[in-house]
Amino acid sequence: MDRTNSISSKEAAFLHVTNPQNNGIHLEMQGTNCRQPQESNITGLRSPDSGENSDGKWASRLLIECATAMSEKDSTKIHHLLWMLNELASPYGDCDQKLAFYFLQSLFCKATDSGQRCYKTLISVAEKSHSFDSVRKLILKFQEVSPWTTFGHVASNGAMLEALEGENKLHIIDISNTLCTQWPTLLEALATRNDETPHLKLTVVVTTSIVESVMKEITPRMEKFARLMGVPFEFRVMNGLNFLGELTKDSLGVQDDEAIAVNCIGALKRVDVEERRAFIQMIQSLRPKVVTVVEEEADFSSSRNDFVKCFEECLRFYTIYFDMLEESFAPTSNERLMLERECSRSIVSVLACDDEVDHGGDSERRERGSQWSVKLREAFVPVRYSDDVVDDVNALLRRYRTGWSLVLPAGADDVGLYLTWKEEPVVWASVWKP
Amino acid sequence: MTEEVISTGSTKNQVSGSYPQPAVKKKRSLPGNPDPEADVIALSPKTLMATNRFLCEICGKGFQRDQNLQLHRRGHNLPWKLKQRSSKEVRKRVYVCPEKGCVHHHPSRALGDLTGIKKHFCRKHGEKKWKCEKCSKRYAVQSDWKAHSKTCGTKEYKCECGTIFSRRDSFVTHRAYCDALAEETARVKAASHVENHAGHVNYQFSLGPNMGQHFSSIFEPISCNSQKINDPMTRGISLWNMSKQTPLSQETLCKNLQEMHQMGISVSSLGAIYSCTDPLFNPCPSNPPAPTTTYQLNWDFAKSLNSSKAADDQLSCNSLPLNNINVKDVGNHQLAGSVPSLFSTQHQSHHQSSAANMSATALLQKAAQIGATTTDPSLVGNFGLKCTEIPVQNAVTTGLGSDFSAFNQLQMYPSMRHHIQNQDNIREGETRDFLGVGIQSICHPSSINGWI
C-alpha cells in the first residue's frame, strides 16, 4: 500500500473512531492500514509524510481522543487508540513521540487502574538511578541552558535581599526542589554588601528521599562555600517529613530575634490540595518578613474532577515544557532525557492517581499564579518587585537563548512576574509580606 | 586619591621606623584621614555634582578640569596654555561631604581630592543614572559605568577544576558544588580532631599549615590531566593489591569515606586522584559519561547483593554509599582530610616485607596508621559485608578496565585501604587483589602488575 493511502486511511481511522456507529471490525482494518508509516516513526526518524497531518501534531490529537474515550468509557476506542499510541510513541523521538510516550503511560495506568503502582515504581527507579553526581550535573546543566529555575531564584533572591536589608540575623527557610542552587549567588551577594555581612541560617526542608540523600552531599559543600565567602553560616536540613503538610512551626526552630524569610520554590504544589490553605497559615505563623513564592504556571487542580479537562491542561503544559527542553539542550543530551523522564512521575501522579489514595509522594497539582494569589492573600500582602530586581531578571534572561521573556501581570490585581517561553507564561514568581 | 594627602601626620605610615624595610609599599590609610594642617573646604552639592565646567568654545565639549580643556584646545589649533603650579607653597585643601550623616561630613574625615569628593558624593548620595546594559548594574558616576562596561561580559571566570564560565552566576553556583575547591579549612578541623583518636593511629604528618598545603596540593589539580599527582598516586594504587579484605577494615574504610564526604570531597574526585586516566572518575563537568557509569557500577553492585538487608537499604546504600551511615559530626572531618596527604608524605616511617613492595607497602601501612580507627561497628558494618561481594559487572570491558571499575568500588571507601595495612598483614605471594576485597577472579594479573 502506498503511503498516501496509508495516511488517508489513518485519517479515516480518526474519522471512523469518532463515529460511534463504527464497530471494532472497521477499526481493526483501518489499524492495519496504518502500519506502514508508523513503522518508520518507531525508529525515531521523522519521515516526511508519516503521521503528518495538516499540522503534524498527531500526538495531542490522539492523546486527547484517547482521554475522551476513557471518560466515555468506550473501551474499544480506548484499546485502539492505546494501541496506536503505543506504535507511534518513543522517548527518543521528536516532541510528539515523546509526549505520546509519557502520556500514554499515564493513560494506560488510568485504564488499568494501576497508577499508584506505576508511580511507586517510577519513584524507586528514580532513586536508584540518581546519585549526587548525576543530580548535580543535571540541575547545573539545566540552569546553564534554561532560565526555568534561575528565573525564580534571581527574582526571589533579589526580593529577599531587599526585604532583609539591615538585618543582622537572617533565617531563610527553604522549601524548594532545586537542591540549594539558589544559595551560592545569595551568599555571594551577602558577602559583597557594603555594610556588615549578616549571619545567615538556612533551614532546608526536604520530603522526597532522593533529595534527602543528595542533601547529605550538599551540606558540607554549602558550609564550605559560605566559609569561603566569609559569611557566618548555619545550615540545617530538615528531613523526616513524609509530606510537606506535616511541617510545623515548632519543628523549624525559628527564634524571635531572627529575620525570617520563607522561600517556596515549587513548594505549594507539593502540598495536598485540601491542606494548602492550612499550609499557608502555618507559614504565616512563622511571622516571616518576606515570603517568596515561585510556581509553574499550570492548572492541574481546579479540573481534577474532570479528567479530559485536566488531561488537556496537562498536555498543554508539558508540550511547552518538552518543546523548551528540545530547544535548550543539544539534540543528544543525556540531561534532557533525564529531565523528560522526571516528568513521567508528575504526569502519572496527576492523571492516573487518585488523590485520596496515598501514593506516597508529594502532590503535583499545580495551580496558576492567580489561583495561588487568592490563597496567599488570605495571609499575606503582595509586594511589587523593585525595578532593580526586574532589571536583574531581564539581564538574566538576556544571557540565555532567545525565546524567553519576562512579563509583568496585566490586571491591577495581578501579582508577581511571569517567565514566558515563546509567549506562553510558564513560571510565576511573587513576593509576599505579612 | 593621591598618596600625598594621605601620607601625612597619620600614624599609619610610620611603618618603616628605624630599620630598613624590604621595599614595602606605603600602605594607604583609610580615605578621609586628612592632613590636620589642611584647609577644609565645604562645597555645595550643586558644585559637587556639576561636571564639565570648562567648555570648549569651538565644539562645546565640557571638561572637568581646566588642564583637560587646554589639551583639548590643541586639537582645534587654538592657543593653549597649561597653568604651571605656582611655586609658592599652596595650602593643602581637603573637602567635606555636604551630606549630613555621611562619614565624610566631619572635617576630621575630609577627603583630600576634589575629584574624589565629587565622585564620592555622586556614588553614595547621588542618583544612579548610568546602567550597564548587559548586567543591569547601576552607577552614579559615569566613569565608573564606562569602566564597568568595558569589562562586563568579557571577563571569564575559571574554576579551580578548569572549567571556564562567561557568566558569573553560573560560575558562582558551579563553584559551590565543585569538588575541586581547595579545602584549606579542613586542616583547622583536622587539628581539632586529632585528640579524639587513640590507639594505633599514628599522626606522623604535621597537622599544621603544611598539612593544609599538602592537602590542597593533592587536591587542587583534580582535573584528570594533572601530572604531579600521578606519581605518588600510582604507588598508592598499587597499595590496593595488598592483603585480604577483612570486615573490620571495611568499616574503617567506610567510616573514612564518610568523613571525606563530610569534608565535602566527593568520592569520585578521590577516584580522580588515584586514577587520573580513568574516565569513570573524571569530576570535570565536561565529561558526560562519568556519573552514569559510576552509577551503573553502583547499580550492578546493588543487584549483586544478596544480603538480608531490606531492599531499599541496599539500594540507598549503593547509589549513595553513605546513606545509611550515621553522619558523624564535625569532629570527624580531620582524618578524612588527612587521607590524601598520606600518599605523599608517609613513605618513610614504616618498613615492611619485601623490598619489591617497599614503597607500596610503606605507603599503605602509613595510610593505615593515619587512617581513622574503627570505633563504630554499627557504621556500615553491613556495608562492609557488601563490599566483599562486589562482582562488578560493568560497562568497561578490558581487563584493566574491569579492574578499574572494581577499583572504583573500593575507591569509594578509601579507609578500607588503610585498614588493610592496619592489619599488618602484607602477605607476600598472595594473589594481587586489586580491591583487597576478595574479588580475585576479576583481577587480571598482568594488568595488575602493570600498576605496580
Query: Hey, which of A52-56, A358-362, B235-239, B316-320 has the most confident mean pLDDT?
Result: A358-362
Q: Search chain B and give the residue with CA nearest A181.
A: B173
Cβ-nearest to B173 among A140, A213, A224: A140
DSSP state for residue B64 in the 8-state scheme: S
pLDDT at res. B313 = 41
Closest-CA residue to A183 (of A145, A134, A144, A150): A150
* Chain A interface includes B169 (CB < 8 A): yes
Kindly state the average pLDDT of the residues A348-369.
79
- CB of B282 within 8 A of CB of B292? no
pLDDT value of position A274: 86
* B259 backbone φψ class: left, alpha, beta (φ>0; ψ -120 to 50): alpha
Whole-number pLDDT of residue B232? 43
Q: Which amino acid is located at B190 in the chain?
A: A
Residue with cell 528540545: A326
d(CA B369, CA B96): 65
Nearest residue of A to residue B180 by CA position? A221
Residues A116-139 have a mean pLDDT of: 87
For residue A194, what pLDDT is reported? 63
Q: Which of A33-47, A59-73, A139-153, B173-187 has the highest mean pLDDT?
A: A139-153
- pLDDT (0 to 100) of residue B165: 85
- Residue A55, pLDDT score: 56
The three cell numbers of residue B276 are: 587520573
Is the CB of A181 inside 8 Å of chain B's CB atoms?
yes
pLDDT at A282: 92
Confidence of residue A169 (pLDDT cuts 50, 70, 90): very high
B16 touches chain A (CB under 8 A): no
With 0.90 as the threshold, say if the pTM is over it: no
State pLDDT tens for residues B83-117: 666 555 667 778 888 877 787 788 777 887 877 88
**pLDDT range class, residue A255, cuts 50, 70, 90:** confident
* 3-state SS record for chain B: CCHHHHCCCCHHHCCCCCCCCCCCCCCCCCCCCCCCCCEEEECCHHHHHCCCCEECCCCCCEECCHHHHHHHHHHCCCCCCCCCCCCCCCCCEEEECCCCCCCCCCHHHCECCHHHHHHHHHHHHCCCCEECCCCCCEECCHHHHHHHHHHCCCCCEECCCCCEECCHHHHHHHHHHCCCCCCCCHHHHHHHHHHHCCCCCCCCCCCCHHHHHHHHHHHCCCCCCCCCCHHHHHHHHHHCCCCCCCHHHHHHHHHHHHHHHHCCCCHHHHHHHHCCCCHHHCCCCCCCHHHHHHHHHHHHHHHHCCCCCCHHHHHHHHHCCCCCCCCCCHHHHHHHHHHHHHHHHCCCCCCCCCHHHHHHHHHHHHHHHHCCCCCCCCCCHHHHHHHHCCCCCCCCCCHHHHHHHHHHHHHCCHHHHHHHHHCCCCCCCCCCCCCCCCCCCCCCHHHHHHHC
Return the bridge partners of A260, or none: A171
CB contact under 8 A, A140 and B268: no
Summary mean pLDDT of chain A: 83
- Distance, in Å, from the CA atom of A428 to the CA atom of B399, rounded to the nearest integer, reads 53
pLDDT > 90 in chain A, percent: 43
Specify the pLDDT at position B129. Answer: 80
Q: Which residues of B touch A392 (CB under 8 A)?
A: 136
Specify the higher pLDDT residue, A150 or B138.
Answer: A150
User: Which grid coordinates are listed for A190?
Assistant: 551577602
Grid coordinates standing for A163?
526585604
Closest to A253 in 3D by CA, of A234, A271, A269, A267: A234
- What ipTM was predicted for this assembly? 0.76
Q: What pLDDT digit, counting tens, does each position of B148-194 carry?
A: 888 777 777 888 888 888 888 888 898 888 887 655 444 444 444 44
Chain B interface disruption, residue of A157, A204, A217, most B CBs within 10 A: A217
B444–A contact, CB cutoff 8 A: no
Alpha helices for A146-287 (secondary structure H): 150-163, 183-191, 209-229, 249-252, 276-285
Q: What is the mean pLDDT of residues A86-92?
A: 91
Q: Which of B256, B234, B203 lies closest to B369, judged by CA?
A: B203
pLDDT in tens, A328-347: 998 888 899 999 998 888 89
**What is the mean pLDDT of the segment spanning A241-255?**
82
A-chain residues within 8 Å CB-CB of B312? 124, 127
Check CB contact under 8 Å for B263 and A395. Answer: no
Low-confidence ranges of chain B (pLDDT < 70): 1-33, 50-51, 78-90, 136, 181-452
